[in-house]
């Protein structure tokens, strides 16, 4: 059985004071030896704060993006080795907001994935369709193309360090949620695609759901056979809600 992963994506939120309060509540509320993996993905300026406050705990920390470049004259960029220096274990790539607001292509996401793997970090590769694409019946072809771009450039052995997150764009921050069966159907398609690369390893890859998972729907979503956790947005900023989702896992 695959171990669940509950990953909080803080997006562009937080302050030193509010982060300390949140992380303190999470540490206090998380029982030792939690039955799932727990992760917070913080803005880059707060990664060392996470390292300082979470060291020795069962909560990991990661980044929300990474540069495709290793170093050089790229003002404002943060490289994979820099994230490694902050003791990050994961980083999100290809989030729908990066694709929509920053024009990130499938090919760029694939190159970022390679950078993370080369630095020993686990990429959380996001895929998902818009409402228009879903209504046109293009969901499976869209998410498959996004994942294929990554699978085409990584080695078979690297699959063991990959995490995939399905985030229906139409269900992020809108209050809408895919039904558990709708989410499971897409997760199953992604699992089948991973199996084309390496069938045994595909069964071990965690596929997270990233479409407004909340305490109210977490248990039903996480009961689906191919939903291995959640990439949590707004609920990750409230300790009680995030802990409730962890408990559901």
Q: Token pair 């291995």 is at which residue?
A: 228
Higher pLDDT, 100 or 172: 100
Residue 36 has pLDDT above 70, yes or no: yes
pLDDT value of residue 32 = 67
Q: Where are the alpha helices (DSSP H) in 1-122?
A: 16-29, 47-54, 80-85, 96-102, 106-118
Threshold 0.75, pTM exceeds: yes
d(CA 122, CA 7): 12
d(CA 51, CA 174): 32
pLDDT value of residue 172 = 75
Contact 71, 78 (CB under 8 A): no
- Domain of residue 228, residue span: 5-248
pLDDT one-digit tens code per residue, 197-213: 999 999 999 999 998 89
pLDDT value of residue 171 = 82
If one counts the domains in the chain, the total is 1
Residue 3 has pLDDT above 90, yes or no: yes
Reading the block at residue 32, the tokens are 């030792």
Q: In Å, what is the CA distance from 18 to each residue of 91, 193, 211?
A: 22, 40, 25
Average pLDDT, the chain: 95
| DSSP codes, 169-232 | GGGSSSS----HHHHHHHHHHHHHHHHHH-HHHHTT-EEEE-S---HHHHHHHHTSTT--EEEE
User: Catalytic residue positions?
Assistant: 95, 167
Q: What is the mean pLDDT of residues 128-136?
A: 92
pLDDT one-digit tens code per residue, 108-122: 999 999 999 999 999
The band of 33, judged by pLDDT with boundaries at 50, 70 and 90, is low
- DSSP class of 34: -
Residue 231 has pLDDT above 90, yes or no: yes
10: CATH: 3.20.20.70
Q: What is the mean pLDDT of residues 216-244?
A: 97
φ/ψ region of 103 (left if φ > 0, alpha if ψ in -120 to 50, else beta) reads: left
């Amino acid at each position: 059985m695959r171990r669940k992963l509950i990953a909080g994506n803080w997006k562009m939120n937080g302050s030193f004071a509010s982060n300390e309060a949140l992380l303190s509540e999470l540490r206090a509320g998380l029982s030792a030896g939690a039955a799932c993996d727990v992760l917070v993905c913080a803005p880059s300026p707060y990664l060392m704060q996470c390292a300082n406050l979470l060291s020795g705990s069962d909560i990991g920390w990661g980044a929300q993006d990474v540069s495709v470049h290793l170093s050089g004259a790229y003002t404002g960029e943060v490289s994979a080795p820099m994230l490694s220096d902050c003791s990050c274990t994961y980083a999100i790539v290809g989030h729908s907001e990066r694709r929509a607001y920053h024009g990130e292509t499938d090919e760029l996401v694939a190159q970022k994935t390679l950078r993370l793997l080369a630095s020993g970090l686990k990429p959380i590769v996001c895929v998902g369709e818009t409402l228009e694409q879903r209504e046109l019946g293009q969901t499976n072809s869209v998410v498959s193309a996004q994942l294929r771009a990554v699978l085409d450039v990584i080695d078979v052995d690297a699959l063991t360090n990959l995490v995939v997150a399905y985030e229906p764009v139409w269900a992020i921050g809108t209050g809408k949620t895919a039904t558990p069966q709708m989410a499971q159907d897409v997760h199953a398609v992604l699992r089948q695609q991973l199996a084309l690369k390496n069938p045994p390893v595909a069964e071990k890859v965690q596929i997270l759901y990233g479409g407004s998972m909340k305490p109210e729907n977490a248990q039903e979503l996480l009961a689906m056979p191919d939903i291995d956790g959640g990439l949590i947005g707004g609920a990750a900023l409230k300790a009680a809600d995030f802990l409730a989702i962890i408990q559901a896992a």
